[in-house]
Amino acid sequence: MSPRSDPETPAITCQGVSREYVRGETGWFGRGRAQTVTALNNVSLRVDYGEFVGVAGPSGSGKSTLLHLLSALDTPTSGRVTLAGVDPAERSRSARARLRLDHVGIVFQRFHLLPALSARANVAVPLIEQGVPRKERRERAERLLADLDLQDRAHHKPGALSGGEQQRVAIARALATDPDVLVADEPTGELDTTTGASVLDAFERVASDRAVVLASHDTQALDRTDRVIRLRDGKRIEDTT
């Protein structure tokens, strides 16, 4: 049963979350030029189901690091993240991969579609990993493409699609498993203003019963969200609505 059936359970929480990375080499006996970089510093937040939340900040502010934590692609150095009521850091690597598959949809800036597959086949890829039967995969993929006004492009490969069409296929793929959380990193960054608006329309349509978190420099994108979490130098600063 989806955690969305329990309105008391938030989709995402972060409690005092920090993420540090070590850069450089330590050399013999730990001596060298290694440097600890703090990408996130004591960030706390909550995102509920039905919320469309933006994440903003200059380059290097920690946006991508935060998205990696929210989508269980990474775990924090300190603090705690919960995703659909589960702490990914308490799971094994394989269990975290299954958590992502079942509960998270990820949309990338550069689409990441498989060029040899049709739009419908690209959308169905996560369902193969879930073990969904072929007929159901096909039907679900076709329904999602129709919901995003791509029913006439189902058999086209990515090379025959415009940038906006490819991004909508990527959104359909991210929604194929009916995730509780949809995370998008600069989803309009490769698109012109008109095409980007159509992609943002799609995000708004799917945000009604799941949590959507979108990181962007694009004011047009952030204006569509319910509220904006702002980061600077890895720290959370004032939010805007």
What are the residue boundaries of the structural domains of the chain, listed by start? 50-75+91-236
CATH no. of 50-75+91-236: 3.40.50.300
How far apart, in whole angstroms, are the C-alpha atoms of residue 170 and residue 148? 11
| Backbone phi, psi, residue 236, to 5° | -80, 130
Predicted local distance difference test score (pLDDT) of residue 110: 82
- Burial of residue 151 (CB within 10 Å: 0-12, 13-18, 19+) is middle
Grade residue 157 by pLDDT with cuts at 50, 70 and 90: very high
What is the average per-residue pLDDT within 50-63?
A: 94
Q: What is this structure's pTM?
A: 0.89
Predicted local distance difference test score (pLDDT) of residue 238: 72
Asked if the model's pLDDT at residue 4 lies above 90, the reply is no
Return the exposure string of 11-29: e unless at least 16 CB atoms fall within 10 Å of the residue's CB, then b: bbbbeebbbeeeeeeeeee
How far apart, in whole angstroms, are the C-alpha atoms of residue 12 and residue 181? 8
Given a contact cutoff of 8 angstroms between Cβ atoms, the answer to whether 183 and 107 are in contact is yes
Grade residue 162 by pLDDT with cuts at 50, 70 and 90: very high
Strands 181-185 and 104-107: parallel
* Share of the chain residues as helix, strand and coil, in percent rounded to the nearest 5: 40, 25, 35
* Count of all residues that appear for the chain in the document: 241
Grade residue 41 by pLDDT with cuts at 50, 70 and 90: very high
Predicted local distance difference test score (pLDDT) of residue 93: 93
- Express as a percent the part of the chain with pLDDT over 90: 70
Average pLDDT across the chain, whole number? 90
Predicted local distance difference test score (pLDDT) of residue 189: 85
Asked if the model's pLDDT at residue 227 lies above 60, the reply is yes
In eight-state DSSP terms, residue 189 is T
Given a contact cutoff of 8 angstroms between Cβ atoms, the answer to whether 11 and 47 are in contact is yes
* More confidently predicted of 23 and 138: 138
Mean pLDDT lowest among 173-187, 198-212, 221-235: 198-212
Given a contact cutoff of 8 angstroms between Cβ atoms, the answer to whether 79 and 14 are in contact is yes
- Is the C-alpha dihedral spanning 227, 55, 183, 167 positive or negative? positive
Return the exposure string of 211-230: e unless at least 16 CB atoms fall within 10 Å of the residue's CB, then b: bbbbbbebeebbebbeebbb
